[in-house]
Chains A and B, each alone.
Chain A
Amino acid sequence: MNFELTEERRMLQDTLRRFLSDRYDSATRNAIMAAPEGMSAEIWSALADLGVIGALFSEPDGGYGGEGFDIAVVFEELGRAGVVEPFLDTAVLGGGLLAALGDERQRALLAEVIEGRLHLALAHYEPGSRYDMERVATTATAEGDAVVLTGAKAVVVNAEAAGHLIVSARESGAVDDPGGISLFLVPPGSKGLTLRGYPLISGGRAAEVTLEGVRVPASARLGAAGEGLAALRRALARANVALAAETLGAMETAVELTREYLLTRHQFGRPIGSFQALQHRFADLLIELEQARSAVINAAGQLDAPADERDRQISAARNLIGRAGRLVAEESIQMHGGIGMTQEYDLAHFARRIIMADHRFGDTDWHLERFIELSAA
């Protein structure tokens, strides 16, 4: 057993932490969130130049990392700084699927992703599917050399910026059949494709995506026909490690802000941190933070385990972090009093990041349910 980060990962962590503390302060972030694109192209390419995206891919895919702990290190730092740029969507989900399923021509896009020149978005979940992975009503119908896509996709994060959408669609089977799902690379200008974009409450943007008879060549298919689900599951497992680590980072910052505030805010002639009613609750936050850290380690370390065991660990982590994150966000606000409720004070952003993470790729209850199912198996 060894819980130390490798030298390389520690360096990555240091570089990233230094860069973000120099270049990504709250004023910068607020300006980014107020801008219509909801992200900064400048920050994006600077971080790509630092190797942040490359760290998320293995050497054969053109990167220098790509393991669970690489993802965890990067996203914990992004989370600590409250970064809203869509690294998870472009690199982990989009890039991950290209790397796993792409043919040579499709994989050529990976270099552009790693260099920060191409955005991607996964258009998978649908208005009626909530968090269910295999529930895909969008259809893909072969017509000669082409495939025609029809359906609707919900809350597609980063859709507007994406150079390609990765769209899941059903080629056969019932709506919740695990088999029969394929993935397609769809360019944003395609006829019949419409995006309705909007900002997200925790930063970044998403869109409702409608496909009305969108024709793509059969060569736009990623991987074998009807066999997309296993790759999707794996990509979402990696995304869940990223999301859990990011949330852990945001929790660290929230707890640190709270610690500083308890020491500096005075009421009744003493620091509020001297009230035992708050001391015990602060101690509980520290305990839950360490629990969350371990949950991320468990999940990141099992990313290459067989699918069911991997996902059981992933769901354990997301369930625990859903609970611990809620406690940290709510208690941090509460122990700050009114200040914790204001847009201007940093905590607001971190609380929103933490809570809203519970609305992607399954919430606390969804993961509890999956954990129970996979434990029984």
Chain B
Amino acid sequence: MDLNYTPEELAFRDEVRAFLDETLTDDIRAKVRGHGQLTKADMEGWHAALNARGWLAPTWPKEWGGCEWNAVQRHIFEEECAMADAPRVVPFGLTMLGPVLMKYGTREQCERYLPRILSGEDWWCQGYSEPGAGSDLASLRTRAVREGDHYIVNGQKTWTTLGHFANRIFCLVRTDPDAKPQEGISFLLIDMDSPGVEIRPIILLDGTHEVNEVFFDNVKVPVENLVGEENRGWTYAKYLLMHERTGIAGVGFSRAGLAMVRRMARAEMHKGQPLLENPHFAARLAQVEIDLMAMATTNLRIVSQAAAGQAPGVESSMLKIKGTVIRQEINDLARRAAGPYALPFPSEGLEGVNEPPIGPEDAGPVAAQYFNNRKLSIFGGSNEIQRNIIAKVKLGGGR
């Protein structure tokens, strides 16, 4: 047991810091702090910068252009990026589809798609959820019928994050309607430009457009776009979800969030004193920090086990719940710290180039961010579903 970084790990951290110092512009950092204002070009720019440095795919094998970093390196990297207000790397190609293709795809599929993920030529989105199939994903109904060397796809996906930026979507589709729900699902790669694909925006409660509905009307998909075997898609989907949940603890985001709350509360005055010195506020802040300190170590314990070849099961569900609850609590503290200045809605009209922000610098986006991050406990398997998983494993469903 040793909680300190080794000299090599410290050197790695310095290397990451230097890179971030050099690469991240103030403009991008400010946008990341200022919630939801990153453009597609901003995200692509950051993606390209990481790719140029060879740091885009921390978990991928070197063979495919990855870093093969160990758990501690990945942790250091994520934390430094979050603390430096770096944009989040869009995960759909890199951490979701990539690993599935490497494990279950053909050599041709890997050669075709993996380099395009790294280069940014392909922007993937995730077509799992449907209006009737959320937590009960296996009840999905989007239908794919084989006709010669094509599938004909009909149906609807929803909540498709950043689908409006994507040129490709990986979908779970039903290929055998007569089998048990989990046994009739296939994993299909679909070109968003195909005739019959239509995308419509969904606006979230903070006014942002990040998710979409995607409709499929007799869309022709070549058979070679099937990943793995027909009707085995559920297995691949679960494998992907496991990857989706790594990094879900969001330790770096929470640390960055706490730093911001502290900065706000130092500047905000309450009865002539900094809010940070107010016992009620200080107690709330300390409580979250205490939880985060323990969770950061839980995270490292679990991730390093996973690296040693032990699959994170129940533990990743635990991290998902604790990590999201802590992040949401920090968002709640940020809105409290802003006081009355949480009320103004930073709509586009206000972001005029020369207009100073309304109220203190950090206050503008905090309410919107608070509302937006209610999603953290809903997506990626809701926190209720995670609890069901934990209980089922440990109690066997009570049977």
| Chain B residue at minimal CB-CB distance from A203 | B345
Question: B136: CB under 8 A from chain A?
Answer: yes
Of B135, B345, B375, B382, which one neighbours A200 at CB under 8 angstroms?
B345
Question: How far is A364 from B347 in the complex, measured between Cα atoms in Å?
Answer: 27
The residues of B that contact A342 with a CB separation of less than 8 Å are 202-205
Mark interface residues in B362-379 (1 if CB within 8 Å of A CB, else 0). 000001101100110111
Question: How far is A341 from B209 in the complex, measured between Cα atoms in Å?
Answer: 12
Question: A368: CB under 8 A from chain B?
Answer: yes
Q: Interface SS of chain A: helix, strand, loop or mixed?
A: mixed
Question: A100: CB under 8 A from chain B?
Answer: no
The residues of A that contact B159 with a CB separation of less than 8 Å are 338
Question: How far is A73 from B191 in the complex, measured between Cα atoms in Å?
Answer: 56
Interface set, chain A 319-344, CB cutoff 8 A to B: 326, 330, 333-334, 337-338, 340-344
Is there contact, CB below 8 Å, between A368 and B280?
yes
Is there contact, CB below 8 Å, between A277 and B384?
yes
Is there contact, CB below 8 Å, between B203 and A344?
yes
Mark interface residues in B332-371 (1 if CB within 8 Å of A CB, else 0). 1001101111111101011000000011000000011011
Give A277 Cβ to nearest chain B Cβ, in Å: 6
Question: How far is A326 from B336 in the complex, measured between Cα atoms in Å?
Answer: 12
Number of residue pairs across A and B with beta carbons under 8 Å? 143
Give B281 Cβ to nearest chain A Cβ, in Å: 6
Question: How far is A54 from B263 in the complex, measured between Cα atoms in Å?
Answer: 46
Interface-side segment among B40-48, B70-78, B92-100, B269-277: B269-277
| Chain A residue at minimal CB-CB distance from B134 | A337
The residues of A that contact B335 with a CB separation of less than 8 Å are 355, 359
If A128-B269, A277-B387, A338-B379 touch, whether A356 touches B359 (CB-CB below 8 Å) is: no
Is there contact, CB below 8 Å, between A199 and B345?
yes
Give A367 Cβ to nearest chain B Cβ, in Å: 10
The residues of B that contact A199 with a CB separation of less than 8 Å are 344-345, 347
Is there contact, CB below 8 Å, between B205 and A341?
yes
Is there contact, CB below 8 Å, between B340 and A330?
no
B343, B347, B382, B387: residue with the most chain A Cβ atoms closer than 10 Å: B343
The residues of A that contact B271 with a CB separation of less than 8 Å are 130, 132, 135, 176
Is there contact, CB below 8 Å, between A154 and B205?
no
Of A127, A132, A267, which one neighbours B136 at CB under 8 angstroms?
A267
Question: B68: CB under 8 A from chain A?
Answer: no
Question: A261: CB under 8 A from chain B?
Answer: no
If A267-B136, A330-B374 touch, whether A198 touches B350 (CB-CB below 8 Å) is: yes
Count of interface residues, chain B, beta-carbon cutoff 8 Å: 56
Give B148 Cβ to nearest chain A Cβ, in Å: 35
Question: A196: CB under 8 A from chain B?
Answer: yes
Is there contact, CB below 8 Å, between A155 and B371?
no
Give A203 Cβ to nearest chain B Cβ, in Å: 9
If A267-B135, A342-B204, A365-B280 touch, whether A359 touches B374 (CB-CB below 8 Å) is: no
Given contact pairs A277-B388, A364-B336, enumerate 5 new A-B contacts (beta carbons under 8 Å): A130-B271, A201-B343, A267-B136, A352-B205, A365-B280
Question: Which A residues form the contact surface with B (CB < 8 A)?
Answer: 125, 127-132, 135, 154-155, 176, 196, 198-202, 206, 208, 266-269, 275, 277-278, 326, 330, 333-334, 337-338, 340-344, 348, 351-352, 355-356, 358-360, 363-365, 368-369
Would you list 26 pairs from A and B whose C-beta atoms are within 8 A, ordered by A residue? A130-B270, A131-B270, A131-B340, A132-B271, A154-B340, A198-B358, A200-B343, A201-B345, A201-B367, A208-B358, A267-B136, A268-B139, A277-B387, A330-B374, A333-B205, A341-B374, A342-B203, A343-B204, A343-B205, A352-B205, A355-B335, A355-B367, A359-B335, A359-B342, A359-B367, A364-B336
Question: Which B residues form the contact surface with A (CB < 8 A)?
Answer: 129, 132, 134-136, 139, 158-159, 202-207, 211, 268-272, 275, 278, 280-281, 284, 328, 332, 335-336, 338-345, 347, 349-350, 358-359, 367-368, 370-371, 374-375, 377-379, 382-384, 387-388
